[in-house]
Amino acid sequence: MKRVYTFGDGKAEGNAEMRNLLGGKGANLAEMNLLGMPVPPGFTITTEVCTEYTQKGRDAVVKLIQKEVEDAIAHVESLTGKKFDNPENPLLVSVRSGARASMPGMMDTVLNLGMNDATVASLAEKSGNPRFAWDSYRRFVQMYGDVVLGMKPKSKADIDPFEAIMEKVKEEKGVRLDTELGVEDLQKLVKLFKSAVKDFTGKDFPDSAWEQLWGGICAVFDSWMNERAILYRRMNQIPEEWGTAVNVQAMVYGNMGENSATGVAFSRDAATGENMFNGEYLINAQGEDVVAGIRTPQQITVEGSRRWAALQGIGEEERASKYPSLQETMPVCAEELISIANKLEDYYRDMQDMEFTIQDGKLWMLQTRNGKRTGAAMVKIAMDLLRENKIDEKTVLMRMEPQKLDELLHPVFDKSALKRANVMAKGLPASPGAASGQIVFFADEAETWAEKKKKVVLVRIETSPEDLRGMAVAQGILTMRGGMTSHAAVVARGMGKCCVSGAGEIKVDYAAKTVEMGGKVYKEGDWISLNGSTGEVYDGQVPTAEPELGGDFGAIMNLAAKYTKTLVRTNADTPRDAKQARHFGAQGIGLCRTEHMFFEGDRIKAVREMILSGDVEGRRKALAKLLPMQRSDFEGIFEAMDGYGVTIRLLDPPLHEFVPHQTATQKELASEMGLTLEEVKAKVDSLEEFNPMLGHRGCRLGITYPEITEMQARAIIEAALNVKNRGISVHPEIMIPLVGTLKEIQNQADVINTTAAKVFEERGESVPYKVGTMIEVPRAALTADQIATVADFFSFGTNDLTQMTFGYSRDDAPKFLKFYKEHGIIKTDPFEVLDQEGVGQLVRMGVEKGRATKPELKVGICGEHGGEPSSVKFCAKLGMNYVSCSPYRVPIARVAAAQAALEE
Ligand code: PEP
Ligand code: MG
* CATH code, 139: 1.20.80.30
Catalytic residue among 487, 596, 656, 865: 487
Same domain, residue pair 785 and 818: yes
Q: Which atom of ligand 1 is nearest to the CA of 490?
A: 8
* Residue 601 counted as domain residue: no
Lowest mean pLDDT among 275-284, 411-420, 768-777: 411-420
Lowest mean pLDDT among 295-309, 484-498, 692-706: 484-498
Lowest mean pLDDT among 84-88, 236-240, 257-261: 236-240
* Residue 619 counted as domain residue: no
Residues 550, 552, 558, 560, Cα dihedral to 10° = -110
Question: 592 C-alpha to center of ligand 2: Å?
Answer: 12
* Mean pLDDT for the stretch of residues 547-576: 92
Ligand at shortest distance from the CA of 595: 1
**Which residue among 169, 185, 206 closes a domain?**
206
Taking alpha carbons only, the member of 469, 468, 461 closest to residue 441 is 461
Lowest mean pLDDT among 3-12, 599-608, 734-743: 599-608
Ligand 1, atom 10: closest residue by C-alpha: 800
Q: Which atom of ligand 1 is nearest to the CA of 737?
A: 6
With cut-offs at 50, 70 and 90, classify the pLDDT of residue 159.
confident
Same domain, residue pair 68 and 169: no
Question: 799 C-alpha to center of ligand 1: Å?
Answer: 5
With cut-offs at 50, 70 and 90, classify the pLDDT of residue 288.
low
Angle at 261 between CA 255 and CA 263, to 5 degrees: 120
Same domain, residue pair 157 and 181: yes
Asked if residue 708 has pLDDT above 80, the reply is: yes
| Dist. CA 821–CA 395, nearest whole Å | 33
Same domain, residue pair 424 and 536: yes
In CATH, what number is assigned to the domain containing residue 316?
Answer: 3.30.470.20
* Residue 174 counted as domain residue: yes
Ligand 1, atom 9: closest residue by C-alpha: 593
Catalytic residue among 498, 592, 699, 862: 862
Question: 797 C-alpha to center of ligand 1: Å?
Answer: 5
Residues 399, 405, 408, 414, Cα dihedral to 10° = -90
498 is catalytic: no
Angle at 488 between CA 485 and CA 492, to 5 degrees: 95
Question: 800 C-alpha to center of ligand 1: Å?
Answer: 6
* Mean pLDDT for the stretch of residues 728-746: 97
* Mean pLDDT for the stretch of residues 705-727: 97
Same domain, residue pair 843 and 870: yes
Ligand at shortest distance from the CA of 651: 1
Ligand at shortest distance from the CA of 862: 1
The mean of the pLDDT values for the chain is 92
* Mean pLDDT for the stretch of residues 260-266: 93
Same domain, residue pair 832 and 726: yes
* Residue 621 counted as domain residue: no
487 is catalytic: yes
Q: According to the model, what pLDDT value does residue 482 have?
A: 80
The tally of domains found in the chain comes to 5
* Residue 742 counted as domain residue: yes
* Mean pLDDT for the stretch of residues 516-542: 94
Of 254-258, 572-576, 863-867, highest mean pLDDT? 863-867
Q: In what order do the strands lie in the sheet with 476-479?
A: 423-426, 536-539, 527-531, 434-440, 456-460, 476-479, 498-501, 428-431
Ligand 1 pocket, residue 657 CB under 6 Å: no
Taking alpha carbons only, the member of 210, 244, 230, 211 closest to residue 45 is 244
Q: According to the model, what pLDDT value does residue 290 have?
A: 61
The model's pLDDT over 40-63, given as tens digits with 9 standing for 90+, comes to 999 999 999 999 999 999 999 999
Q: Which atom of ligand 1 is nearest to the CA of 652?
A: 9
Q: Which atom of ligand 1 is nearest to the CA of 862?
A: 5
Q: According to the model, what pLDDT value does residue 98 have?
A: 92
Mutation pick for ligand 1 pocket among 491, 589, 591 (CB with most ligand atoms within 8 Å): 591
* Residue 793 counted as domain residue: yes
* Mean pLDDT for the stretch of residues 662-684: 90
3-class secondary-structure state, position 511: coil
Q: According to the model, what pLDDT value does residue 294 have?
A: 60
Same domain, residue pair 431 and 285: no
The model's pLDDT over 435-482, given as tens digits with 9 standing for 90+, comes to 999 999 999 999 999 999 999 999 999 888 778 889 989 999 999 988
**Contact at 8 Å (CB) between 814 and 502?**
yes
N- to C-terminal Cα separation, the chain:
33
Same domain, residue pair 189 and 212: no
Q: Residue 828: how many CB atoms within 10 A of its CB?
A: 16
Asked if residue 570 has pLDDT above 90, the reply is: yes
Question: 682 C-alpha to center of ligand 1: Å?
Answer: 29
What are the b/e assignments for 420-448, b being 16+ CB within 10 Å? Answer: ebeebbbbbbbbbbbbbbbbbbbbebbbe
In CATH, what number is assigned to the domain containing residue 421?
Answer: 3.50.30.10
Q: Which residues, including other chains, have CB under 8 Å from residue 442's CB and lie 6 or more apart?
A: 470, 510
* Residue 671 counted as domain residue: no
Same domain, residue pair 95 and 243: yes
Question: 900 C-alpha to center of ligand 1: Å?
Answer: 24
Same domain, residue pair 822 and 703: yes
Ligand 1 pocket, residue 593 CB under 6 Å: yes
pTM of the model: 0.84
Q: According to the model, what pLDDT value does residue 719 have?
A: 98
Taking alpha carbons only, the member of 297, 334, 329 closest to residue 312 is 297
Same domain, residue pair 39 and 92: yes
* Residue 615 counted as domain residue: no
Same domain, residue pair 350 and 435: no
Mutation pick for ligand 1 pocket among 486, 650, 800, 805 (CB with most ligand atoms within 8 Å): 800
Domain containing residue 512: 411-545
Taking alpha carbons only, the member of 85, 10, 17 closest to residue 41 is 10
